[in-house]
């Protein structure tokens, strides 16, 4: 078995690895450029990307759009041909406005998770930008495919299947985790591969299935490719890179974390998230933290009753405050040093090739 290239929007990535989008301000231009230069696909996250801009609290939408456009132009200056996407969570308020804005930018795809982006094709259908979605079950993939087919006659460029070991918001409820009702990544990939077949036939188009969540080294990549995935999406591994846009303090938390430091936290998005245990997660075990301000970020946020404000806490941590929310994937504890993206990618590919050559 060989490592295949990944084709998105007519462009080819040398390796089938997508660097997953990470908000707030964790995956931006610096990381994107390094990933594209190393032959993999880059994703920036739209989530409150304007957080550090002066007028953010007064007019978050305006500042987010300015920040997005600046970030994209900056990346494209030296990387016109790399594959670049924007992660736009469906749970965000102003989703339509963001998607319509992004459909006119020099990017290759918009990818949406954190909800079911049934309406995404409407905003990108007649543009150069492709659409993709993130799901945590074949059932959700089928629902979206059926809806995109029936309502828009439109198919995703690829689908990311995200398992229970992922970072950021998780596609499983607290009850799912408590009752053990969580499907593992291999199984989600296998069942999703099955359900896409009739759609691939109808549209005469291949829909790559990309596996995400807990993929940390080249052996993990080889194993999931053998299970039928066409590629992987990795996020946490790239936080511990020289080029990642996260603060040094954030990177330090990742490389110093131990297995027992990685915990699940409730999020105002209505889904559990995964984070590194710190001042914030300890406080949240018994208390709520009253938000200092509200930028109306999430459709799903029940403002009067939330344990904390996600924009405030993720924003603080991305800005170097280790008392904020430090989102991470479940395998962060296996990462022990910060390296360049190129070193990481080269080792991932070398490890993966060794395992695949035994097949
Ligand atoms: C710090 C962090 C922030 C993230 N932010 C987002 C986001 O804004 N939107 C999203 O859809 N996924 C987000 N994710 C999920 C990743 O894009 C990715 O799919 C997932 O973390 C893969 O698992 P891994 O981290 O184990 O590689 C985030 C993950 C991390 C670790």
Query: Do 195 and 266 have their domain in common?
Result: no
- Any ligand 1 atom below 6 A from CB of 45: yes
Query: Do 188 and 80 have their domain in common?
Result: yes
8 A C-beta contact, residue 102 and residue 129: yes
Residue whose pair of structure tokens reads 């170097």 in the numeric block: 320
- The minimum-distance atom of ligand 1 relative to the CA of 234 is 27
Give me the domain span that covers residue 306.
253-318
Query: Do 169 and 133 have their domain in common?
Result: yes
- Supply the residue whose CA is at minimum distance from atom 8 of ligand 1: 23
CA torsion angle 149 152 156 159 (round to 10): -60
Over the stretch 329-350, which tens digit does the pLDDT of each residue have? 999 999 999 999 999 999 999 9
8 A C-beta contact, residue 133 and residue 113: yes
Query: Do 80 and 174 have their domain in common?
Result: yes
- Supply the residue whose CA is at minimum distance from atom 1 of ligand 1: 327
- Any ligand 1 atom below 6 A from CB of 166: yes
- Where does residue 216 fall: left (phi above 0), alpha (psi -120 to 50 degrees), or beta otherwise? alpha
Per-residue confidence (pLDDT) for residue 267, from 0 to 100: 86
- pLDDT confidence of 359, banded at 50, 70, 90? low
Whether residue 351 is contained in a domain is answered as yes
Whether residue 324 is contained in a domain is answered as no
> Rounded mean pLDDT of 256-283?
92
- Any ligand 1 atom below 6 A from CB of 6: no
Comparing CA positions, the residue from 347, 121, 91, 82 lying closest to residue 221 is 347
Query: Do 273 and 140 have their domain in common?
Result: no
8 A C-beta contact, residue 167 and residue 329: yes
Whether residue 51 is contained in a domain is answered as yes
CATH code, domain carrying 176: 3.20.20.70
Residue whose pair of structure tokens reads 């099955």 in the numeric block: 194
Whether residue 136 is contained in a domain is answered as yes
Query: Do 107 and 197 have their domain in common?
Result: yes
What whole-number distance in Å separates Cα of residue 203 and Cα of residue 205?
5
Over the stretch 73-103, which tens digit does the pLDDT of each residue have? 999 998 999 999 999 999 999 999 999 999 9
CA distances from 322 to 127, 314, 318, 332 (A): 41, 10, 9, 16
Q: How many domains does the chain have?
A: 2
Query: Do 150 and 274 have their domain in common?
Result: no
What is this structure's pTM?
A: 0.97
Residue whose pair of structure tokens reads 């078995």 in the numeric block: 1
Query: Do 66 and 177 have their domain in common?
Result: yes
DSSP SS3 for 148: helix
Query: Do 273 and 155 have their domain in common?
Result: no
Query: Do 292 and 346 have their domain in common?
Result: no
Terminal Cα-to-Cα distance of the chain (whole angstroms): 6
8 A C-beta contact, residue 161 and residue 192: yes
- The minimum-distance atom of ligand 1 relative to the CA of 20 is 17
Distance 359 CA to ligand 1 centre (A): 30
- Any ligand 1 atom below 6 A from CB of 165: yes
Query: Do 71 and 214 have their domain in common?
Result: yes
> Rounded mean pLDDT of 261-278?
91
- The minimum-distance atom of ligand 1 relative to the CA of 113 is 11
Query: Do 265 and 144 have their domain in common?
Result: no
């Amino acid at each position: 078995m060989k490592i295949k290239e990944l084709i998105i929007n007519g462009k080819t990535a040398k390796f089938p690895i997508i660097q997953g989008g990470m908000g707030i301000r964790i995956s931006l231009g610096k990381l994107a450029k390094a990933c594209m230069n190393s032959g993999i696909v880059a994703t920036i996250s739209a989530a409150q990307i304007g957080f550090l801009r002066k007028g953010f609290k007064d007019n978050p939408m305006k500042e987010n759009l300015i920040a997005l456009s600046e970030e994209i132009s900056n990346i494209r200056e030296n990387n016109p041909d790399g594959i670049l996407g924007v992660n736009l969570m469906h749970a965000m308020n102003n989703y339509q406005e963001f998607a319509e804005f992004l459909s006119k930018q020099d990017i290759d795809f918009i990818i949406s998770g954190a909800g079911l982006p049934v309406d995404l094709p409407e905003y990108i259908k007649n543009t150069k930008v492709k659409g993709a979605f993130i799901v945590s079950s074949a059932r959700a993939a089928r629902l979206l495919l059926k809806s995109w087919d029936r309502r828009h006659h439109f198919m995703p460029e690829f689908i990311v299947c995200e398992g229970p070991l992922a970072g950021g918001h998780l596609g499983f409820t607290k009850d799912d985790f408590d009752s053990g009702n969580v499907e593992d990544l291999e199984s989600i990939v296998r069942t999703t591969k099955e359900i896409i077949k009739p759609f691939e036939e109808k549209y005469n188009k291949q829909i790559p299935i990309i596996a995400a969540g807990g993929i940390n080294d080249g052996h993990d990549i080889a194993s999931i490719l053998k299970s039928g995935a066409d590629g992987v999406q990795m996020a946490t591994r790239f936080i511990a890179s020289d080029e990642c846009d996260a603060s040094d303090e954030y990177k330090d938390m990742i490389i110093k974390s131990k297995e027992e430091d990685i915990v699940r936290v409730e999020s105002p998005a209505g889904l559990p998230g995964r984070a590194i245990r710190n001042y914030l997660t300890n406080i949240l075990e018994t208390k709520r933290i009253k938000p200092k301000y509200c930028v109306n970020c999430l459709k799903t946020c029940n403002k009067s009753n939330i344990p904390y404000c996600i924009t405030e806490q993720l924003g603080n941590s991305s800005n170097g405050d280790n008392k904020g929310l430090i989102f991470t994937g479940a395998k962060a504890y296996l990462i022990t040093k910060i390296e360049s993206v190129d070193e990481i990618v080269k080792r991932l590919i070398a490890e993966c090739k060794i395992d695949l050559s035994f097949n």
